[in-house]
Chains A and B, each alone.
Chain A
Amino acid sequence: MLTFANSLFLIALAGLTVPVILHLIDRELAVDLKFPSVRFIGKARLPRREKRRLRDLLLLLLRLALFASVVLAFAQPIWITPQASMAEERQLRQTVYVVDASSSMVGDNAWAEAVSAVGAEISDRADEQAGLIVFADKILVQVEPSNLASAVGEVLSRLEPTYAAGSPALALEHAVRLFHPDAKSRLVVVSDFQETDWQTDLPGIPRGVELVLLPVSESPGSNTGIVRVNVLPIGNNLARVMVSVRNYGARKAEPRLSLSGPGIAQEKYPVLEGGQLSTVSFEVDASESRPMRVSLPDDNYERDNAWHFWVSPPPLIRVLAFLPHLDEPEAIQGFYFLQTALEVESETDWIRFDVTAVDRGFFHESMLEEAEVMVFPATGAYFNDDQWEYLRSFLEQGGTALMLPGASFPKFFRNLQTRGFMQSRFIGLAGNTNERLEPFHFGHISPNSGLADVFTREAAKDLYLVNIYRYVRLHLNGEETKLLAFENGDAALLALPVGKGNLYVSTFAFDPSWTDLPLRNSFLPLVRELVEEGFDLDRQRNRLYVEEVVQLLVGEMDRPGTLEVEGQFWEINVNPSESTLARVDTRQWLPSVLTGEPIQVAQASVPPPLGATGGQDKPLWPWFLMIALAALFLESLWVGLADPVKSLRPGKVAKNG
């Protein structure tokens, strides 16, 4: 069957009448010619073309074919094979229901609406085969299309929304594959179409599949939720609980925020404008570890109304330092400065490091699980091939490493380049003695790094006064980030992302022969911030979302709450990404994204089927384009050979006429 994607272009076919009319009324134009004498030349009626020459009629047909081919090519004709109509005759019809079971579907009675909508659809289409896919962050249930349509409803009624965020792309891909090639296919998507889930890369729905979008919870009303809780020590065995609360609705809200725990109960009433994110703080006793909870009153989406957390210091961060020992004894001195800075304890900083120094020979695969942070003072120059791979493996799994140059700095930096850790090229050494009269200074801190937050105003002055006597010059041409740079723009500290982890490389050693940095006040915050920069403190504190708990197999916890396992404190909460009330446009935007069709203002909520059947579509416009080109070529050839005006020698026409 022939159909057109842009049928409006067919109106242009009316233009075919123009050359026909011209042809009918056309008389050949007389050519001016200067002639010696017109004495014996009498007047005569000019003949009409179609009466005189058959070739003009053929030329007309050629031009009509050219014009019609161009118009038809623009109209994008599509041939749908008869296979589809055969399927239609057999009445093989399949509907696959794709149902969203992400956490947001629990709110505003959305899940019940979804189950009811699917049930109504199934009962209306009892003669069709029905299939089902239920999804959240992955596909939860998949039922292939069958005549047992009622089974779909039963499966759906036994399910309930998960705590995970929605990921519809995978579900849509699987749903399309469930259709039989000869079936008349119908895809029904039931969801609240939350922006955070649906504004992602979505797969295209084939033309032959009828797409129906059934939005539920279209007007969810208001929602206020807890986004995050941080606990900071403030000294005197006290801690400050910082609660971030967001009003997702458009109207002003003043909810009651309650803090509760063993022996503690506090309340506050933050005023939140529409869309506002606000932080509310509580002060609590931190003399001993205890689980606590902040909560909001019930609203349309209950799951983000409570947050569970521990008031306790986070676990120690294990740091392993691999020392060169006999190879470079001067590097040991620099390490001791580093160790001292990391092991300092403070009442106002709960983050503590446990630094262990071992010989570089112990850097082995078995050590990768033993630490969260690794330090390599001058050790990189002595790595063998295996050790470089251990380092890569450690970083790719999310580890943090700090590498410092030593006496063999050329070999160290060339190894970094050749092993693919960085693209920058080693140039040489700037400065070669600590007696240099004008030492180098830092001149620039990357505004995107945590260092920029720490070194502000007075703190920054001390950092900029640090003397660096020599450093390794690099020619940066990769994606490395300069966390810290010298006044002349050369890199001082580089951040090299590797997998999930980060490798920090200093272009100078931390010993007094290279710099006086370890003797400065800036050294301690610089080192600690640097190590914490690439460190996932939430992971360290065992803060998880509900859907992550299953993956980690921590205890039996599959609901929000707090948990203590083998001396470690776990906090499990609901992902706040499901709290938003914003919905994607299911009338225009989403259908256009899924079907690839242009947005039409007047489109109904349920778009019409794009193809009548599930047959093979063959676009015919390339054929029409080829016909047009062939007609154009023949027409040009014909006119060039047959036009009487051109058959005159141009020079002679000009001379005589």
Chain B
Amino acid sequence: MASAYQELLDPDYLSQIDNYLLMAKGAVEGFLSGMHRSVYHGFGTEFLQYRNYVPGEDLKYLDWKVYAKRDQLVTKVFQEETSMNVYFVVDASASHDYQGERAACSKLRYACMIAASLAYLASRQGDNIALFAYQDSIVEAIEPGHRSGQLLRFLQALVRLQPAGGADHDGLLQSITHHMRNRGLVVYFSDMLEAEKSLPRQLRALRFRHCDCLAIQVLDPDERDLPHAYPVRYVDSETEADVTTFAGTIRAQYQTSMDAFQDALKSAFSHAQVEYLSLLTTDHLGHALGKYLSKREAIA
């Protein structure tokens, strides 16, 4: 059973589904069904559905009437009543177009798959969802809402995203800050390249708007180990700067630099009290969903 749901969250599998709604539904339901042994019940008081009781669960959620009638132990699941704004911020700069040999999809596609899944999950729980995608400027903006069609609008905006240009992190965060009037959660997707100093500081500023933040870094495996076994002229996707080299010669040095960059980023986010998650495009989506639920539960 466990392997089945792991498979459902595999990017290789999910990236083959063009429809984001189907993909997100499959990922989320698969993920939740794999969590039936956990103590997750939702955060509201409105009844949503029953599910089989698993030993170890809190007995306060057992429906004794059902047990009396059918001699079957079931647990009640509730839907949250008080909504929260969940802001999804997606970096769609040109560097997210990269797809290495081992990855099933590009970095942007991977980020969008996670965003879609989380948005579906949030929408299912009654939260308001919002989307801001940016490159040199904002290219998609959907205000928070939970009315019917909000999720579809959200997903359609994801579909329209095409990686291009640079990434103006400062401008984006300044622009969206005034949208955040209520308490909420910002889920931020980017490869965060060359922004290990400024980005944690800027995301920390969101806390002053009563918004928690989950920063998800999306990288391709090639960016971690530079696996190319032949001479390559590397051309920077955003600046067009190029370096011709043989990866076998510089791989160790590159990996050291990359590790230092990752450590610096992790340290800076920790210092800024921003939740940080680094994902490779080969990682299954369960990491992000689990992290999100954990964060969401903490806020609730």
Chain A positions near chain B (C-beta within 8 angstroms): 28-47, 644-645, 648-649, 652, 655-657
Contacts and interface: CB of A to CB of B under 8 A. Distances in A.
B263 interface: no
A41 B107 contact: no
B243 A43 contact: yes
B253 interface: yes
A483 B238 CA distance: 94
Given A33-B235, A34-B235, A28 B230 contact: yes
Contacts, number: 106
B170 interface: no
B297 interface: no
A656 B258 CA distance: 21
Contacts of A45: 246, 249
Nearest to B229: A644
Interface stretch (B142-150, B220-228, B283-291): B220-228
B97 A656 contact: yes
A36 B245 contact: no
B193 A37 contact: yes
Given A36-B96, A38-B241, A649-B101, 15 more contacts: A30-B244, A33-B234, A35-B223, A36-B98, A36-B193, A37-B236, A38-B235, A40-B258, A41-B243, A42-B245, A42-B250, A44-B249, A45-B249, A46-B231, A644-B229
B212 interface: no
A53 to B, nearest CB: 10
- Counting chain B CB atoms within 10 Å of each CB, the highest count among A28, A33, A655, A657 belongs to A33
B242 A44 contact: no
Contact of A31 (B98, B233, B237): B233
Nearest to B93: A36
B80 interface: no
Interface string B82-101: 00000000000001111111
B35 interface: no
B98 A34 contact: yes
B97 A33 contact: no
A37 to B, nearest CB: 4
Contacts of B231: 28-31, 46-47
Contacts of A47: 231, 246, 248-249
B232 interface: yes
- Counting chain B CB atoms within 10 Å of each CB, the highest count among A29, A34, A43, A649 belongs to A34
B250 A44 contact: yes
A33 B233 contact: yes
Given A39-B193, A42-B245, A655-B99, A33 B228 contact: yes
Interface in B248-270: 248-250, 253-254, 257-258, 261
A29 to B, nearest CB: 7
A34 B97 contact: yes
B233 A30 contact: yes
Interface residues of B, number: 40
Contacts of A34: 97-98, 235-237
A649 B95 CA distance: 19
Contacts of A46: 231, 244, 246
B191 interface: yes
A652 B227 CA distance: 15
A17 B241 CA distance: 39
User: Across chains A and B, which 8 residue pairs bring their CB atoms closest together, nearest first?
Assistant: A36-B95, A44-B249, A40-B257, A644-B230, A30-B231, A44-B245, A35-B234, A30-B233
A41 B237 contact: no
A569 B188 CA distance: 130
- Counting chain B CB atoms within 10 Å of each CB, the highest count among A37, A649, A656 belongs to A37
Contacts of B246: 44-47
A43 B254 CA distance: 11
Contact of B236 (A29, A38, A649, A652): A38
A40 B231 CA distance: 16
Given A33-B235, A34-B98, A655-B97, A41 B250 contact: yes
25 contacts: A28-B230, A29-B231, A30-B231, A30-B232, A31-B230, A33-B228, A33-B232, A34-B97, A34-B236, A36-B98, A36-B237, A37-B194, A37-B237, A38-B235, A38-B241, A38-B242, A40-B253, A40-B258, A43-B243, A44-B245, A44-B246, A47-B248, A648-B101, A655-B99, A657-B235
A45 B248 CA distance: 11
Contacts of A652: 99-101
B283 to A, nearest CB: 17
Nearest to A31: B232
Contacts of B236: 34-38
Interface in B189-224: 191, 193-194, 220, 222-223
Nearest to B98: A36
Contacts of B235: 32-35, 38, 657
Contacts of A35: 98, 222-223, 234-237
Contacts of A657: 235
Nearest to A40: B257
Given A30-B232, A46-B231, A644-B230, A36 B241 contact: no
